[in-house]
Amino acid sequence: MSMVRPDEVADRLAIMDVLNRYARGIDRCDLEVLRSVWWPEAKADYGTGEIDALVWSDGVVPALAAMRRTQHFLGNMLIDIDGMSATAETYCRAYHEVDSPDGPYDMQVGGRYLDRLEKRDGDWRLAHRRYVLDWSRNGLSTAQWDGPLYGTLTRRGQRMPDDPLYTGD
Amino acid sequence: MADLDPRVALLLDKMACTELVHRLARGIDRCDADLVRAVFHPDATDDHGMYQGTAADFVPWVMEVLAGMRRTQHVIGNVLVEVDGDKAKGEAYFIAHHHIPGESGDNFMVAAGRYLDRFEKRDGEWKISHRHAVYDWSTVAGSTDMWDRANMPGYAFGERGHADPSYNHFAGA
């Protein structure tokens, strides 16, 4: 599986960009970026059934925005390219901080995206995504953002359009 | 290959080495001895601290260690690869997650470190000739996993071996 071939370098890099752009769309709650990773008829199945990926995207952004913050940390990517289509597995370590009656609460999930991508008119996008759950870790947040060390780290991640990514600050 | 732009050739070599690191993580997490074996040269060696020896003997050793755990996920981050002809050195950051049965409930152990790999290209194919695992930090605490796997139909959960959905996925099913 997944041998790196000379004629596929550009395709592999383009596919990695699509996979990474998904995480940006999710974590910045940037619907435009998130929608741009899918082909119009793409399907996604996160465990509650296969649905239209664009419909899913429209619904997930407000759900994410209701959380305090998220980070989808992508790791290992195994990509099999077969002409105009590709099959990929991407590891993800997802961090979600949400409100709870007892204060901020962390939900961490280790999982994998099983993707099928297609190249059309030179553009790679996701045609199908299935999410696999590997592990989870849950508990009250131990985040510390003040004090002599952390208090100096003032540039914090935000959602669009307040993140430094957009403001340039 | 001879007329390949040297910059593209370097990119290919780096990609191939990174790919091996990712394939090895997949082999470990799926407890797939064949996948693990396939990333090493026949005379490769491994130093995991508690295991030092040939890669061939590392495979059954690590499979036994994994059998004592419920599940693992080895997430690879930063991968630096320095290529020198048909040899290369790599430093790959990892965060490894282990769900382990304990006497008073399950534990969740996270170990992070770096794989210091040596790669060699033989007959046009890159494989690992030596792996040295270096440990940087770890945390361990009681498991807080709340998924009732048996009663969550529709959700795909990670499995060991070919029961994992990734096998059908890569087979095109």
Structure confidence by residue, pLDDT tens digits, A58-101 = 999 999 999 999 999 999 999 999 999 999 999 999 999 999 99
Q: What is the C-alpha to C-alpha distance for residues A89 and A16, in angstroms, rounded to an integer?
A: 11
**Is B32's Cβ below 8 Å from some Cβ in A?**
no
Residue A159 belongs to a domain? yes
Position A12 scores a pLDDT of: 95
Chain B CB contacts of A132 under 8 Å are: 156-158, 164-166
- Across the interface, whether the CB atoms of B145 and A49 are under 8 A apart is answered no
Q: What is the C-alpha to C-alpha distance for residues B78 and B97, in angstroms, rounded to an integer?
A: 17
When pLDDT is cut at 50, 70 and 90, the band that residue B39 belongs to is very high
Of A4, A76, A87, the CB nearest to B170: A87
- Compute the mean pLDDT over every residue in chain B, rounded to the nearest whole number: 96
Position A2 scores a pLDDT of: 57
Domains of chain B in sequence order? 6-147 (3.10.450.50)
Q: What is the C-alpha to C-alpha distance for residues A46 and A70, in angstroms, rounded to an integer?
A: 17
If one counts the domains in chain A, the total is 1
ipTM of the complex: 0.94
Q: What is the pTM for the complete model shown?
A: 0.95
- What string of DSSP letters covers A142-165? -----HHHHTT-------TTTSHH
Within 8 A by CB and 6+ apart from A68, the residues are: A97, A98, A99, A104
Residue A13 belongs to a domain? yes
- Across the interface, whether the CB atoms of B169 and A12 are under 8 A apart is answered no
Position A109 scores a pLDDT of: 98
Position B2 scores a pLDDT of: 57
Position B35 scores a pLDDT of: 97
Q: Which helix (H) or strand (E) holds B10?
A: helix B6-29
The three-state secondary structure class of A60 is helix
Strand-pair partners of B95: B75, B112
Would you say how long chain A is, in residues?
Answer: 169
Nearest-by-CA chain A residue for B99 = A135
Position A4 scores a pLDDT of: 73
Query: What number is the average pLDDT over the span B30-49?
Result: 98
Domain containing residue A146: CATH number: 3.10.450.50
Residue A100 belongs to a domain? yes
What are the φ and ψ backbone dihedral angles of A135, each rounded to 5 degrees?
Answer: -155, 165
Residue A31 belongs to a domain? yes
For residue B140, which amino acid is it?
V
Closest CA to B73 of B108, B46, B35, B38: B108
Q: Supply the range of the domain harboring residue A81.
A: 6-167
* Residue B20 structure tokens: 């091996």
Backbone torsion region of residue A113, taken as left when φ is above 0, otherwise alpha when ψ lies between -120 and 50, otherwise beta: beta
Residue A1 belongs to a domain? no
- Compute the mean pLDDT over every residue in chain A, rounded to the nearest whole number: 95
Q: What is the C-alpha to C-alpha distance for residues A156 and B134, in angstroms, rounded to an integer?
A: 31
Distance in Å, alpha carbon of A91 to nearest chain B alpha carbon: 6
Of B22, B95, B145, the CB nearest to A77: B22
Chain A CB contacts of B22 under 8 Å are: 2, 76-78
The three-state secondary structure class of B103 is coil
Of residues A6 and B94, the one with the higher pLDDT is B94
* Residue A130: half-sphere exposure toward Cβ, Cα within 13 Å: 21
Q: What is the C-alpha to C-alpha distance for residues A162 and A156, in angstroms, rounded to an integer?
A: 10
> Rounded to the nearest 10 degrees, what angle do helices A53-65 and A9-27 cross at?
40
Position B113 scores a pLDDT of: 98
- Across the interface, whether the CB atoms of B76 and A76 are under 8 A apart is answered yes
Position A78 scores a pLDDT of: 98
The 10s digit of each residue's pLDDT in B121-173 is 999 999 999 999 999 999 999 999 999 999 999 999 999 999 999 999 999 87
A22 class by beta-carbon count within 10 Å (0-12 exposed, 13-18 middle, 19+ buried): buried
Does position B3 have pLDDT exceeding 80, yes or no?
no
Asked if residue A162 lies in contact with residue A129, where contact means CB atoms within 8 angstroms, the answer is no
